[in-house]
Amino acid sequence: MDWGGPSFVIAIIAISTAGWIINNWIRAKHGYDLEDEWGGKTTVKRDDAETKRLKAENRELHDKLDAMQDRMIVLEKIVTDRGYTLAEEIEALRDVPAPRSGSSESGVPLDLGTKKETSA
């Protein structure tokens, strides 16, 4: 290959043009502004209806997330404020006698509504 001949110059021009085309294709695919022949930027026209739909969907999802966070706060308050503890459940299980092997009961009833009073 002759490095100073016209085929080398044409190869450089072809590689540069292919690189420019691939660069613009990738930019267009990901929604970036495109470069024109003189190094300026050309803004891609975006679909306004699609943008409005996506913004509405985003707002709806944020509202759902806010509602879920509010519900989670309420559930945390219920669990922590009413004294609902695992220790009380375990103590309630210890106080109930175990069913006999021949009985028809399939479970142990829990009486979590009443607390035992201790004398001090």
pLDDT tens readout for residues 94-104: 776 666 665 55
The per-residue pLDDT of the chain, averaged, comes to 77
Higher pLDDT, 22 or 99: 22
Contacts of 78 (CB under 8 A, 6+ apart): 84
Using CA atoms of 95, 100, 101, 107 in order, give the dihedral in degrees to the nearest 10.
Answer: -50
pLDDT tens readout for residues 37-57: 666 676 666 677 888 888 999
Q: What is the pLDDT of residue 19?
A: 92
The residue-averaged pLDDT of 12-32 equals: 87
Chain position carrying tokens 């103590």 = 91
Percent of the chain with pLDDT strictly greater than 90:
22
Whether 63 shows a pLDDT value over 60: the answer reads: yes
Residue 29 corresponds to which tokens in the numbers above?
A: 């695919």
Q: What is the pLDDT of residue 120?
A: 45
For residue 69, the number of C-alpha atoms closer than 13 Å in the C-beta half-sphere is 6
